[in-house]
Amino acid sequence: MSSDSVELPPLELLQLLGDGKNHSGQELAGLLKVSRTAIWKQLAKLEGLGLELLSQSGKGYCLVGGLELLEKDLISSLLAPSAANAIADLTLLNLVDSTNSYLMRQEQDAGISVCFAECQTAGRGRRGRQWVSPFASNIYLSLRLSISSGLGAVEGLSLAVGVAVANALDELGVDDVRLKWPNDVLWSGKKLGGILIEVVGDPSGLCHLVVGLGLNLRTEKSMADTIDQPWVALDTIISVLPSRNRVAACLLNHIVPLLSDYEKKGFVSYRAAWESLNAHTNQKVDLFMGSLQATGLVRGVNSAGALLLETDRGLEVFHGGEVSLRAAV
Protein backbone atom coordinates (compact mmCIF):
# COMPACT_ATOMS: atom_id res chain seq x y z
CA MET A 1 0.00 0.00 0.00
CA SER A 2 1.58 3.30 -1.07
CA SER A 3 0.63 6.74 0.18
CA ASP A 4 -0.54 7.56 -3.34
CA SER A 5 -3.17 4.81 -3.13
CA VAL A 6 -4.63 6.01 0.18
CA GLU A 7 -7.00 8.95 0.33
CA LEU A 8 -8.14 10.54 3.55
CA PRO A 9 -11.71 11.73 3.95
CA PRO A 10 -12.05 15.25 5.39
CA LEU A 11 -11.02 15.29 9.03
CA GLU A 12 -14.28 17.05 9.85
CA LEU A 13 -16.14 13.95 8.65
CA LEU A 14 -13.92 11.65 10.69
CA GLN A 15 -14.47 13.80 13.77
CA LEU A 16 -18.26 13.64 13.32
CA LEU A 17 -18.15 9.85 13.02
CA GLY A 18 -15.68 9.61 15.89
CA ASP A 19 -18.41 9.38 18.53
CA GLY A 20 -19.26 5.88 17.28
CA LYS A 21 -22.95 6.78 16.96
CA ASN A 22 -25.30 6.57 13.98
CA HIS A 23 -25.36 9.52 11.59
CA SER A 24 -27.59 9.78 8.55
CA GLY A 25 -26.15 10.75 5.21
CA GLN A 26 -28.46 13.76 5.19
CA GLU A 27 -27.17 14.90 8.58
CA LEU A 28 -23.52 14.53 7.53
CA ALA A 29 -24.15 16.29 4.24
CA GLY A 30 -25.85 19.19 6.01
CA LEU A 31 -23.09 19.64 8.58
CA LEU A 32 -20.36 19.55 5.93
CA LYS A 33 -22.41 21.54 3.39
CA VAL A 34 -21.96 19.02 0.60
CA SER A 35 -24.26 16.60 -1.26
CA ARG A 36 -25.18 13.16 0.05
CA THR A 37 -23.39 11.71 -2.98
CA ALA A 38 -20.22 13.51 -1.93
CA ILE A 39 -20.60 12.06 1.57
CA TRP A 40 -21.02 8.54 0.17
CA LYS A 41 -17.83 8.94 -1.90
CA GLN A 42 -15.89 10.07 1.15
CA LEU A 43 -17.22 7.23 3.31
CA ALA A 44 -16.07 4.74 0.68
CA LYS A 45 -12.47 5.72 1.54
CA LEU A 46 -12.74 4.42 5.10
CA GLU A 47 -12.17 0.79 4.15
CA GLY A 48 -8.81 1.72 2.68
CA LEU A 49 -7.86 3.13 6.08
CA GLY A 50 -8.58 -0.15 7.83
CA LEU A 51 -11.73 1.21 9.51
CA GLU A 52 -15.05 -0.60 9.79
CA LEU A 53 -18.15 1.37 8.81
CA LEU A 54 -21.63 0.01 9.38
CA SER A 55 -24.46 1.17 7.14
CA GLN A 56 -27.95 0.42 8.45
CA SER A 57 -31.18 1.24 6.68
CA GLY A 58 -33.09 3.89 8.59
CA LYS A 59 -30.19 4.55 10.97
CA GLY A 60 -27.39 5.79 8.76
CA TYR A 61 -23.69 5.26 9.19
CA CYS A 62 -21.75 4.19 12.26
CA LEU A 63 -17.97 3.99 12.64
CA VAL A 64 -17.47 0.86 14.73
CA GLY A 65 -15.76 1.71 18.00
CA GLY A 66 -15.60 5.42 17.26
CA LEU A 67 -12.39 7.33 16.74
CA GLU A 68 -10.01 9.54 18.72
CA LEU A 69 -7.51 11.65 16.82
CA LEU A 70 -4.19 12.59 18.38
CA GLU A 71 -3.81 16.22 19.45
CA LYS A 72 -0.42 17.84 19.79
CA ASP A 73 -1.46 20.36 22.44
CA LEU A 74 -3.16 17.69 24.54
CA ILE A 75 -0.18 15.33 24.39
CA SER A 76 2.17 18.20 25.26
CA SER A 77 0.04 19.17 28.26
CA LEU A 78 0.37 15.63 29.65
CA LEU A 79 4.17 15.45 29.38
CA ALA A 80 6.34 15.36 32.47
CA PRO A 81 9.15 17.98 32.52
CA SER A 82 11.78 15.24 32.10
CA ALA A 83 10.23 14.38 28.73
CA ALA A 84 9.04 17.81 27.60
CA ASN A 85 12.45 19.44 28.17
CA ALA A 86 14.25 16.81 26.08
CA ILE A 87 11.93 16.90 23.05
CA ALA A 88 13.15 19.23 20.31
CA ASP A 89 10.23 18.67 17.97
CA LEU A 90 6.88 16.87 18.18
CA THR A 91 5.19 16.12 14.85
CA LEU A 92 1.75 14.60 14.29
CA LEU A 93 1.01 13.33 10.78
CA ASN A 94 -2.28 12.06 9.41
CA LEU A 95 -0.68 9.92 6.70
CA VAL A 96 2.92 8.85 6.14
CA ASP A 97 4.83 5.94 4.62
CA SER A 98 6.38 5.16 8.00
CA THR A 99 7.24 7.27 11.03
CA ASN A 100 10.75 5.81 11.06
CA SER A 101 11.32 6.74 7.42
CA TYR A 102 9.92 10.22 7.98
CA LEU A 103 12.35 10.99 10.80
CA MET A 104 15.29 9.49 8.92
CA ARG A 105 14.61 12.02 6.13
CA GLN A 106 14.66 15.01 8.49
CA GLU A 107 17.57 17.16 9.61
CA GLN A 108 18.53 16.24 13.15
CA ASP A 109 17.77 18.84 15.81
CA ALA A 110 19.60 19.03 19.11
CA GLY A 111 17.54 16.89 21.43
CA ILE A 112 14.99 14.23 20.54
CA SER A 113 12.60 14.47 17.60
CA VAL A 114 9.24 12.72 17.96
CA CYS A 115 6.77 11.69 15.27
CA PHE A 116 3.32 10.14 15.63
CA ALA A 117 1.13 9.16 12.69
CA GLU A 118 -2.54 8.32 12.44
CA CYS A 119 -1.84 5.95 9.55
CA GLN A 120 1.21 4.40 7.92
CA THR A 121 1.11 3.11 4.38
CA ALA A 122 4.45 1.29 4.65
CA GLY A 123 4.89 0.67 8.34
CA ARG A 124 7.75 -1.73 9.01
CA GLY A 125 8.36 -4.38 11.60
CA ARG A 126 11.48 -6.45 12.00
CA ARG A 127 12.81 -8.69 9.21
CA GLY A 128 11.05 -6.53 6.60
CA ARG A 129 7.57 -7.41 7.75
CA GLN A 130 4.68 -5.02 7.23
CA TRP A 131 3.32 -3.31 10.35
CA VAL A 132 -0.44 -3.13 9.84
CA SER A 133 -1.53 0.43 10.62
CA PRO A 134 -5.29 1.16 10.51
CA PHE A 135 -6.15 4.85 10.81
CA ALA A 136 -6.28 6.40 14.31
CA SER A 137 -6.61 2.99 15.95
CA ASN A 138 -3.20 2.31 17.51
CA ILE A 139 0.08 4.03 18.36
CA TYR A 140 2.62 4.52 15.57
CA LEU A 141 5.56 6.37 17.11
CA SER A 142 9.18 7.09 16.24
CA LEU A 143 11.88 9.02 18.08
CA ARG A 144 15.18 10.22 16.64
CA LEU A 145 18.35 11.22 18.46
CA SER A 146 22.06 11.62 17.77
CA ILE A 147 24.88 9.88 19.59
CA SER A 148 28.54 10.76 19.32
CA SER A 149 30.36 7.70 20.62
CA GLY A 150 29.20 5.03 18.16
CA LEU A 151 26.79 2.15 18.31
CA GLY A 152 28.67 0.38 21.08
CA ALA A 153 27.28 2.99 23.48
CA VAL A 154 23.70 1.99 22.75
CA GLU A 155 23.95 -1.80 22.87
CA GLY A 156 20.79 -3.31 24.27
CA LEU A 157 18.74 -0.19 23.53
CA SER A 158 15.77 -2.09 22.07
CA LEU A 159 15.54 -4.13 25.28
CA ALA A 160 15.72 -1.02 27.46
CA VAL A 161 12.99 0.66 25.40
CA GLY A 162 10.90 -2.46 25.97
CA VAL A 163 11.28 -1.93 29.71
CA ALA A 164 10.13 1.69 29.32
CA VAL A 165 7.08 0.57 27.33
CA ALA A 166 6.24 -2.06 29.95
CA ASN A 167 6.49 0.57 32.69
CA ALA A 168 4.21 2.91 30.75
CA LEU A 169 1.65 0.15 30.27
CA ASP A 170 1.81 -0.66 33.98
CA GLU A 171 1.02 2.99 34.73
CA LEU A 172 -1.96 2.71 32.38
CA GLY A 173 -3.30 -0.30 34.29
CA VAL A 174 -2.04 -3.12 32.08
CA ASP A 175 -0.75 -6.03 34.14
CA ASP A 176 1.42 -9.01 33.18
CA VAL A 177 3.26 -7.43 30.25
CA ARG A 178 6.29 -9.48 29.23
CA LEU A 179 9.20 -8.84 26.86
CA LYS A 180 10.45 -11.19 24.16
CA TRP A 181 14.09 -10.85 23.15
CA PRO A 182 15.02 -8.67 21.41
CA ASN A 183 12.14 -6.42 20.33
CA ASP A 184 8.61 -7.59 21.20
CA VAL A 185 6.12 -6.54 23.87
CA LEU A 186 3.84 -9.44 24.82
CA TRP A 187 0.72 -10.04 26.85
CA SER A 188 -0.38 -13.61 27.55
CA GLY A 189 2.12 -14.82 24.97
CA LYS A 190 0.64 -12.65 22.22
CA LYS A 191 2.24 -9.67 20.53
CA LEU A 192 1.00 -6.34 21.87
CA GLY A 193 3.74 -4.17 20.43
CA GLY A 194 7.05 -4.14 18.62
CA ILE A 195 10.21 -2.03 18.58
CA LEU A 196 12.37 -1.32 15.53
CA ILE A 197 15.67 0.58 15.73
CA GLU A 198 17.37 1.90 12.62
CA VAL A 199 20.69 3.73 12.26
CA VAL A 200 22.15 6.23 9.82
CA GLY A 201 25.65 7.72 9.96
CA ASP A 202 28.99 6.46 11.25
CA PRO A 203 28.59 3.28 13.37
CA SER A 204 31.89 4.10 15.14
CA GLY A 205 31.28 7.82 15.65
CA LEU A 206 28.47 10.30 15.14
CA CYS A 207 25.30 8.52 14.11
CA HIS A 208 21.56 9.02 14.30
CA LEU A 209 19.18 6.48 15.80
CA VAL A 210 15.51 6.16 15.03
CA VAL A 211 13.50 4.17 17.56
CA GLY A 212 10.14 3.01 16.23
CA LEU A 213 7.29 1.65 18.31
CA GLY A 214 3.99 0.15 17.23
CA LEU A 215 1.45 -0.59 19.98
CA ASN A 216 -1.94 -2.24 19.40
CA LEU A 217 -4.78 -0.38 21.11
CA ARG A 218 -7.88 -1.55 19.24
CA THR A 219 -8.86 -4.83 17.62
CA GLU A 220 -9.61 -3.70 14.08
CA LYS A 221 -10.94 -6.19 11.53
CA SER A 222 -8.24 -5.21 9.04
CA MET A 223 -5.59 -6.31 11.55
CA ALA A 224 -7.29 -9.64 12.19
CA ASP A 225 -7.37 -10.30 8.45
CA THR A 226 -3.70 -9.42 7.88
CA ILE A 227 -1.47 -10.24 10.86
CA ASP A 228 -0.06 -13.76 10.62
CA GLN A 229 0.97 -14.35 14.24
CA PRO A 230 -0.77 -14.40 17.64
CA TRP A 231 -1.46 -10.81 18.67
CA VAL A 232 -3.56 -8.82 21.08
CA ALA A 233 -4.76 -5.23 21.57
CA LEU A 234 -5.36 -3.21 24.72
CA ASP A 235 -9.13 -3.14 24.22
CA THR A 236 -9.27 -6.88 24.95
CA ILE A 237 -6.97 -6.63 28.00
CA ILE A 238 -8.49 -3.82 30.05
CA SER A 239 -12.15 -2.96 30.54
CA VAL A 240 -11.83 0.75 29.76
CA LEU A 241 -9.44 1.69 26.96
CA PRO A 242 -7.45 4.80 27.92
CA SER A 243 -7.38 7.82 25.67
CA ARG A 244 -4.93 7.49 22.78
CA ASN A 245 -3.56 10.91 23.71
CA ARG A 246 -2.94 9.76 27.26
CA VAL A 247 -1.24 6.58 26.00
CA ALA A 248 0.94 8.66 23.65
CA ALA A 249 2.03 11.01 26.44
CA CYS A 250 2.62 8.18 28.91
CA LEU A 251 4.89 6.39 26.44
CA LEU A 252 6.91 9.56 25.89
CA ASN A 253 7.19 10.15 29.63
CA HIS A 254 8.92 6.79 29.99
CA ILE A 255 10.86 6.49 26.71
CA VAL A 256 12.26 10.01 26.27
CA PRO A 257 14.13 10.22 29.62
CA LEU A 258 15.63 6.79 28.92
CA LEU A 259 16.90 7.92 25.52
CA SER A 260 18.24 11.17 26.95
CA ASP A 261 20.84 9.49 29.16
CA TYR A 262 21.18 6.02 27.64
CA GLU A 263 24.55 6.80 26.04
CA LYS A 264 25.86 7.53 29.55
CA LYS A 265 24.02 4.84 31.56
CA GLY A 266 23.92 1.94 29.11
CA PHE A 267 21.92 -1.28 29.25
CA VAL A 268 23.42 -2.36 32.55
CA SER A 269 21.00 0.04 34.29
CA TYR A 270 18.03 -1.78 32.77
CA ARG A 271 19.28 -5.36 32.72
CA ALA A 272 17.64 -6.47 35.98
CA ALA A 273 14.32 -4.89 35.00
CA TRP A 274 14.41 -6.61 31.61
CA GLU A 275 15.21 -9.97 33.20
CA SER A 276 12.18 -9.60 35.49
CA LEU A 277 10.00 -9.18 32.39
CA ASN A 278 11.67 -11.86 30.24
CA ALA A 279 8.92 -13.96 28.64
CA HIS A 280 11.17 -17.00 28.10
CA THR A 281 13.35 -17.31 31.21
CA ASN A 282 14.60 -20.90 31.47
CA GLN A 283 12.31 -21.97 28.62
CA LYS A 284 13.37 -23.98 25.59
CA VAL A 285 13.32 -21.91 22.40
CA ASP A 286 14.27 -22.10 18.75
CA LEU A 287 16.40 -19.24 17.46
CA PHE A 288 16.69 -18.42 13.75
CA MET A 289 19.35 -16.07 12.34
CA GLY A 290 19.45 -16.29 8.56
CA SER A 291 20.54 -19.84 7.76
CA LEU A 292 21.59 -20.45 11.37
CA GLN A 293 19.26 -22.25 13.76
CA ALA A 294 19.89 -22.95 17.44
CA THR A 295 17.79 -24.62 20.12
CA GLY A 296 18.36 -24.24 23.82
CA LEU A 297 17.27 -22.89 27.18
CA VAL A 298 17.08 -19.12 27.66
CA ARG A 299 19.43 -18.11 30.49
CA GLY A 300 18.82 -14.39 30.28
CA VAL A 301 20.88 -11.63 28.67
CA ASN A 302 24.37 -10.26 29.29
CA SER A 303 25.35 -6.68 30.13
CA ALA A 304 25.15 -5.73 26.44
CA GLY A 305 21.65 -7.17 25.96
CA ALA A 306 22.83 -10.23 24.01
CA LEU A 307 20.86 -13.44 24.53
CA LEU A 308 22.41 -16.20 26.63
CA LEU A 309 21.27 -19.55 25.27
CA GLU A 310 22.29 -22.88 26.80
CA THR A 311 22.62 -25.33 23.92
CA ASP A 312 24.19 -28.74 23.47
CA ARG A 313 27.47 -26.90 22.86
CA GLY A 314 27.32 -24.96 26.13
CA LEU A 315 26.31 -21.37 26.92
CA GLU A 316 26.21 -19.41 23.66
CA VAL A 317 25.80 -15.67 23.13
CA PHE A 318 23.58 -14.24 20.40
CA HIS A 319 23.33 -10.58 19.50
CA GLY A 320 20.21 -8.91 18.07
CA GLY A 321 19.57 -8.15 14.43
CA GLU A 322 17.63 -10.18 11.93
CA VAL A 323 16.62 -12.74 14.54
CA SER A 324 13.49 -14.77 15.14
CA LEU A 325 12.88 -16.47 18.48
CA ARG A 326 9.97 -18.74 19.31
CA ALA A 327 9.08 -21.27 21.98
CA ALA A 328 10.27 -24.74 20.98
CA VAL A 329 7.59 -27.29 20.24
Q: How many CB atoms lie within 10 A of CB 292?
A: 9
Q: Which of 126, 144, 178, 218 is catalytic?
A: 126
Q: Is 59 in the active site?
A: no
Q: Do residues 40 and 29 touch, judged by C-beta distance below 8 A?
A: no
Q: How far are the Cα atoms of 41, 66, 117 from residue 17, in angstroms, in the given order?
A: 15, 7, 19
Residue count (the chain): 329
Number of alpha carbons in the 13 Å side-chain half-sphere of residue 184: 23
Task: Look at residue 243 and give its three-state secondary structure.
Answer: coil
Residue 178 bears catalytic tag = no
Residue 120 to residue 274: CA distance in whole angstroms: 29
Cβ atoms 243, 290 nearer than 8 A = no
Catalytically annotated residue among 59, 72, 221, 326: 326
Catalytic-residue membership of 221:
no
- 203 cis-preceded (ω within 30 degrees of 0): no
- Catalytic residue, from 191, 218, 244, 271: name it: 191
How, if at all, do strands 87-93 and 112-117 pair? parallel
Positions annotated as catalytic residues are 126, 191, 326
